[in-house]
Amino acid sequence: MGLFMKREGKQKETSDSQFDIWKIWRKTATILFKERISQANEQPLLDNNCIVVIVWKTFSSPSIISDREVRSFFSTHGFFPQYYETHGFFAKDYQSDLVVNMLYYATVRNKYGIRLLCEDEGDICLPFEKLSEYSVMIHFLSDVLGYHANDITVQEFVNKSRNLVVYSSTPYGDLVGGGSKMFLLCKAEDDDTHYLPVFVSLEHMKEFYKDRNGYLIVEETLKDFLEGHDPDLFKKAFNKYHGPSLPRLGALLEPGHCNVEIPPGIRCQDV
């Protein structure tokens, strides 16, 4: 059980019983496009102003699908006949980043909603007004993909995410079954850089610390977290467990979910 300490004036994360962005964002998906005249005006299929994304649905071919398959799939999901009377639909290749890309496309580039056709989750339909509540998280996850694709540097990532609300705790704590340990992460035992876990999802933090007994939860912006992330503040706790040798301390954002490595010394810069 964590002791919660909230910094005043910070934004709460949005939740919705029908839509768990953390559960869906990296699912393999494909998307159907209407027949196009040229590459330049390619448009995704829309249903009542919602982009239709097929989440981990396998057709016979990842790029070209038959009219029969389209009719069968659409009728299963309750589409009106006019949506599959036009021939020439084709599907994008299956991608693990497509859901986030389409969420970004819907909320930022257009005022569309999103309809996710999921084999084991059922249909999820969010109009733009509801989807816009997730715009902060959609921006964040889009930047995570950009970071992992080397499209943006870690410095650019933290600059863009400076106002993101994050949760962290102290690096040293007690275990539920007795004893204590350092809750730092490293790539190898002899690595001289250790990482303090920091989370965007409070539920992910509770899951990570499920074996930890009585810990502090600090809520602040990523900018404030990095400015206060001074290795000297942790020296006493680290020495208690490891002796006099203090490693370089970085941060790992959303371990097991996003895995964004923020090296020691990185701070948000004014742009």
Tokens 């990532």 -> residue:
157
Residue 44 has pLDDT above 70, yes or no: yes
| Statement to judge: residues 94 and 194 lie in one domain | no
pTM for the structure as a whole: 0.80
Q: With 80 as the cut, is the pLDDT of residue 39 above it? A: no
Domain end: 140, 171, 203, which one?
140
Query: What's the chain's average pLDDT?
Result: 80
Three-state SS across 161-199?
CCCCEEEECCCEEEECCCCEEECCECCCCCCCEEEEEEE
pLDDT-based confidence at residue 64 (cuts at 50, 70, 90): low
Say if residue 92 is in the same domain as residue 46: yes
- Identify whether residues 124 and 176 lie together within a single domain: no
Same domain, 223 and 178: yes
Q: Is pLDDT above 90 for 103?
A: yes
Closest among 111, 243, 229 to 170, alpha carbons compared: 229
- Same-domain status, 36 and 111: yes
* Distance of alpha carbon 48 from alpha carbon 46, whole angstroms: 6
Q: Are 136 and 33 contained in the same domain?
A: yes
Give 133-159 pLDDT, tens digit per residue.
Answer: 999 999 999 999 999 999 999 999 999
Domain assignment present for residue 1? The answer is no
Residue 164, domain member (yes or no):
yes
Instruction: Average the pLDDT over each of 61-70, 88-97, 175-184, 199-208 and give the range with the smallest value.
Output: 61-70
Q: Domain of residue 127: give its range.
A: 21-140
Among 140, 170, 203, which residue terminates a domain? 140
Residue 10 forms part of a structural domain: no
Whether 252 and 175 share a structural domain = yes
Contact of 28 with 94, CB cutoff 8 Å: yes
Per the domain annotation, does 49 fall within a domain? yes
Question: How confident is the model at residue 129, as a pLDDT?
Answer: 92
- Whether residue 90 is contained in a domain is answered as yes
Query: Do 100 and 206 fall into the same domain?
Result: no
Tell whether 206 is covered by a domain. Answer: yes
251 in a domain, yes or no?
A: yes
Identify whether residues 85 and 49 lie together within a single domain: yes
Q: Give mean pLDDT, residues 123-141.
A: 92
62 and 169 together in one domain: no
Report the domain count for the chain.
Answer: 2
In the 8-state DSSP scheme, what is residue 180?
Answer: E
Distance CA 169, CA 2 (A): 9
CA 5 to chain CA mean position, Å: 24
* One domain for residues 164 and 133: no
State which of 140, 162, 194 marks the end of a domain.
140
Do 85 and 194 lie in a common domain? no
Radius of gyration from C-alpha coordinates of the chain: 22
Residue 215 counted as domain residue: yes
The residue among 31 and 245 whose pLDDT is bigger is 31
What is the C-alpha separation between 179 and 240, in angstroms, rounded?
Answer: 13
